[in-house]
């Protein structure tokens, strides 16, 4: 790892407790996109700082952070997850398709089972976006639901099967593999 990048990561860790919600979310998301695990200490500090500011997080910031924790294979703790789920319940009307897809993906990777009521509400909200699902969203949703051993209901499954049928020509080999997994 380049020493300048490492200095940047260390300085960022020092500033985590003073960052606003968008900056916190962007930093953790960036680490995941770069496939750079900044270390348990960094991630624990980011989770603690986020927990203190969770009431200010917008849906995109919330879901980006949770997705990043999933990508980095980091469980932010039960207190964080419970607070996150409570906030998600209140904000669900403001979630878009990407928010729902990222959330279900992260829950599957983290193997965290939200309350049935919230999961059902998220999947119902997902039905509102049935035409917006892409070759990336669909396999990730199917895999996440399988990891959670969650049956999303026949209406949702029928929508997924229909959308997959319409978009199968756009699937990459990896996406087909994820779907079959």
31, 8 contact by CB (below 8 A) = no
Report how far residue 69's alpha carbon sits from residue 103's, in angstroms, rounded to the nearest whole number. Answer: 11
The pTM of this model reads: 0.82
pLDDT tens string 93-107: 999 888 888 899 899
Average pLDDT over residues 39-48: 96
- The DSSP secondary-structure symbol of 124 reads H
pLDDT tens string 128-174: 877 777 767 777 777 888 888 888 888 888 887 887 788 788 878 87
What is the band of 54 on the pLDDT scale with cuts at 50, 70, 90?
very high
Closest CA to 63 of 30, 105, 31, 93: 105
* Mean pLDDT for all residues in the chain: 88
């Amino acid at each position: 790892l380049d020493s300048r990048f490492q200095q940047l990561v260390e300085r960022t860790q020092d500033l985590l407790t003073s960052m606003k919600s968008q900056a916190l979310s962007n930093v953790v998301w960036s680490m995941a996109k770069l496939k750079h695990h900044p270390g348990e200490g960094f991630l624990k500090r980011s989770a603690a700082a986020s927990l203190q500011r969770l009431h200010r997080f917008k849906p995109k910031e919330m879901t980006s952070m949770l997705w990043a924790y999933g990508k980095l294979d980091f469980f932010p703790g039960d207190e964080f997850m419970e607070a996150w789920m409570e906030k998600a319940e209140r904000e669900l009307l403001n979630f878009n398709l990407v928010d729902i897809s990222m959330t279900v993906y992260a829950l599957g990777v983290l193997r965290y089972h939200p309350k049935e009521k919230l999961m059902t509400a998220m999947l119902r909200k997902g039905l509102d976006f049935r035409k917006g699902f892409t070759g990336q969203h669909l396999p990730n949703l199917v895999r996440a639901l399988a990891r959670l051993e969650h049956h999303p209901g026949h209406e949702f499954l029928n929508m997924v099967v229909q959308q997959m049928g319409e978009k199968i020509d756009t699937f990459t080999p990896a996406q087909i593999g994820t779907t079959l997994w």
